[in-house]
Structures are given as C-alpha cells and as structure tokens.
Amino acid sequence: MRRALALARGVLYTTTPNPRVGCVIVRDGQVLGEGATQPPGGPHAEIRALRDATERGHSVEGATLYVTLEPCSHHGRTPPCVDAVLAARPARVVVAMGDPNPQVNGRGLAQLRAAGIAVDVGVCVDEALELNPGFVARMQRGTPWTWLKLAASLDGRSALHNGMSQWITGPEARADGHHWRARSCVVLTGMGTVLADDPQLNVREVTTTRPPRKAVVDARYAIPENARLLDGSEVLVFTARSDPAKAERLARRNVQTILMPGDQPQRVDLDGMMRWFGEHDVNEVHVEAGAGLSGALLSAGCVDELLVYLAPMLLGDAAGMVRMPMIDHLDGAQRFEFTDFTRVGADARLRARVAARWQALRQGLDGAPR
C-alpha cells in the first residue's frame, strides 16, 4: 500500500477533478503490475496496473491488488474499474479508503465480495485521505477542501506599516507555496492583493500540465482590465455588482464573471462561492490573499486548513496576518489542530486543520459504518 500511495503522490498535479489513486498488484512478494490515475479521460490506476501486468506477461489471477481508493463502479468518462478488476480475478483486493460518495460508497467493494474476492478496507486510510481531501469534501459536503496560505514573521506580522511585505519569508518557502498552488484546482485571492501586488497568480517553480484556475473575490467588480493575472488563462471573478459590458469584455479574455452578492451590500457570498466551486469540479482551493479576505473566509467558516510559513524574525508593530472581528473571549477563536511542522529553507512551515472537519471527511472511509 505504501508503494500505491507513492504512485498516487506522483500524480498529485495532474488528475483533478478525479482523485489521485495508485494501484500495485502483487503475488508472492513480486510486483506484477502498477499504475496511477492518468489525466481526466485517461485510464484510472487499476486499469493502468492491470495493463502493466499484462504487458509484463503476468496473469493477475489469484494475486493481491492494492489500491488507494475503492474501484469505481459507475460509468464516468471511463468504464467502471470494478468490472476490469472482476475480469482479472485477483484473490484479494486491499483498499485504503472507500469511495467517499455516500451514494456509491461500498458498492464496488460489494461487487468484488459477491464474486468471492477477499476485500480489506481502511489500510492507511489517513494517508489516502491526505492525498484527496478535496475530492472527498466535494463528494461528501458539496464544497472543496480549502486551505489558507499565510506568510508572516514569527510574531505574526505579514507586512510593515508602509505595506512592504516582499519578502518576509525566503525563496524556498515561496517555491514550496507553488507546489500547493499546483495541486489545487483554484488559486483564490482578493482585490486588495490584486491592487497592492498585481500578482500573476500562476504556478511557477513547479512543472504542471494542468494549471489551476485563478479566482478573485471582487465585490465592487473593480478589477483593472490590465491586471497581470488576466493573461488569457481561465479566471473566475466573484462579484456583488453587475456590469454586463465589463463582463462581456472580460469574457472575451477567458474571464468568467459570477454574480454572487452576499447578505450585506458590497460583499460576496463566500459560502455560495464555495458551493459554486463544489458544483464546478473544484476539489481543492488554495487561498493566497491579504488579511481582509483571509479573515472574511475564516469568519465565514470557509477555511479547512492553514498553511503557515513563519520567518525567523520579529517585526513588532506591523500589519497582522488576518483581519477578523475582535473577540471578548478565547471561545471565539478560530481553532485548528497542528498536523505538521517542517523547516523550509530558513523558515518554518506549520500546517493545521479544523479537526472536526477532517474527522467528518474520514468517517466511514475506513469501511466502518457511518
């Protein structure tokens, strides 16, 4: 299963909206075939592994098939993998996590078991979920898995009082950030950042054949038409103000304008935006925004995970990382659970997530009843 997980990690940047899946077929300690999910429309991991075994001249009959996700049992862009697995007649199938779609969960496994194949579920389920939290979130709750990237000094300052913010963290942290952009389906920012930094918001530092879409929260629809991020790649602008003429002009440049007004004037409905993402094949959202949008997303409960880069410096009086309403008691704090500390160049990278949301995704994936 470790090998299957490693294969899935190898396609981190290419499979979405499909999940990243790896598959290894083994008999008597010998690998007969292996594979990982190909880009959308291409074969899934099980099919690749079965073909690999055939190409190597091996029959899979009686072997054990390890796969990081329950084989699909429905017709999508490709035929159901479970049929191909049944035809190959392995003796045993070991699955890291069940299909997260509540409608299909366990159906593929039931078909395998009905054919007399031994099935184990829940082996390395946490590692498997780490690879596909967005796919699971979209299937289970209809919204993507969203992480907020923050970069600051050790005392939580992301810019000096004069706005200077480049570069508090070092080049290695920025390169690491591009890996997270590359695995996401959408890189999201706010108008404050567009006006202050005019970012390209594309993926550099990492080679990817599937760049994420760019998205901007722009309540007043004030995005300058010469902004650098409007480079012909697919851009989504979420706004609270209708301007059909501007929308028409931007549409010709591959920019889709989505009118999504919030409860309050001049605000975008952030929850609605997340549901829109869920309906439009967006598994993972990478937020890289200023303190305003970052705080608004946190306050709206739209952030599942934090990706925080801290530089080993203190800045004292300077701008904070997130702008949120003052609270009177610690009960009002946004709480997370640390998952990982890593040194990245001279900086520290701390990851933390909302524990209850992770547990909700995980529930049932290990084959236990929901």
Single-letter code of the amino acid located at 80: P
Say if CB 109 and CB 70 are below 8 A apart.
Answer: yes
Region binding its own copies by CB under 8 A among candidate stretches 97-105, 118-126, 183-191, 333-341? 333-341
The 259-298 contact track toward its own copies, x by CB under 8 A, reads ------------------------------------x--x
DSSP 8-state class, residue 308 = E
Q: Distance (Å, rounded) from C-alpha 216 to C-alpha 190?
A: 5
Instruction: Assess 248 for contact with its own copies (CB under 8 A).
Output: no
The tokens for 184 are 């996401």
Q: How many CA atoms within 13 Å lie on the side-chain side of 71? A: 32
Residue 82, Cβ density class (10 Å: 0-12 exposed, 13-18 middle, ≥19 buried): buried
**Cα→Cα distances 298→280, 291, 335, Å:** 22, 10, 10
Identify the three-state secondary structure at position 56.
coil
Instruction: Assess 336 for contact with its own copies (CB under 8 A).
Output: yes
Torsion angle of C-alpha atoms 361, 362, 367, 370, degrees rounded to 10: -60
Query: Which residue among 34, 46, 127, 284 is the active-site one?
Result: 46
Region binding its own copies by CB under 8 A among candidate stretches 66-74, 145-153, 192-200, 271-279? 145-153
Q: Which of 32, 347, 366, 367 binds its own copies (CB under 8 A)?
A: 347
Which residue lies nearer to its own copies by CB, 87 or 314?
314
Single-letter code of the amino acid located at 94: V
Number of residues located near its own copies, criterion CB under 8 A: 50
Instruction: Assess 103 for contact with its own copies (CB under 8 A).
Output: no
327: Cβ–Cβ under 8 A, 6 or more apart, which residues? Answer: 333
Instruction: Assess 317 for contact with its own copies (CB under 8 A).
Output: yes
Q: Distance (Å, rounded) from C-alpha 361 to C-alpha 326?
A: 30
Single-letter code of the amino acid located at 321: M
In the complex, minimum distance from the CB of residue 306 to its own copies, in angstroms, rounded to a whole number: 7
Which residue lies nearer to its own copies by CB, 221 or 336?
336
Single-letter code of the amino acid located at 138: R
Residue 286 phi, psi dihedral angles, 5° rounding: -105, 115
DSSP 8-state class, residue 114 = H
Instruction: Assess 196 for contact with its own copies (CB under 8 A).
Output: no
Instruction: Assess 12 for contact with its own copies (CB under 8 A).
Output: no
Contacting its own copies within 146-185 (CB under 8 A): 150, 152-157, 160-162, 164, 167-168
Q: Which of 227, 352, 361, 365 binds its own copies (CB under 8 A)?
A: 352
Active site residue 46: yes
Q: Which of 39, 327, 359, 363 binds its own copies (CB under 8 A)?
A: 327
Say if CB 95 and CB 120 are below 8 A apart.
Answer: yes
Which residue lies nearer to its own copies by CB, 48 or 149?
149
In the complex, minimum distance from the CB of residue 192 to its own copies, in angstroms, rounded to a whole number: 16
**Cα→Cα distances 246→194, 214, 217, 229, 235, Å:** 17, 18, 16, 16, 14
Instruction: Assess 64 for contact with its own copies (CB under 8 A).
Output: no
Which residue lies nearer to its own copies by CB, 156 or 261?
156
Instruction: Assess 107 for contact with its own copies (CB under 8 A).
Output: no
Q: Which residues are catalytic?
A: 46
Q: Which residues make up the interface to its own copies (CB under 8 A)?
A: 150, 152-157, 160-162, 164, 167-168, 295, 298, 306, 308, 310, 312-318, 320-330, 333-338, 341-343, 346-348, 350, 352
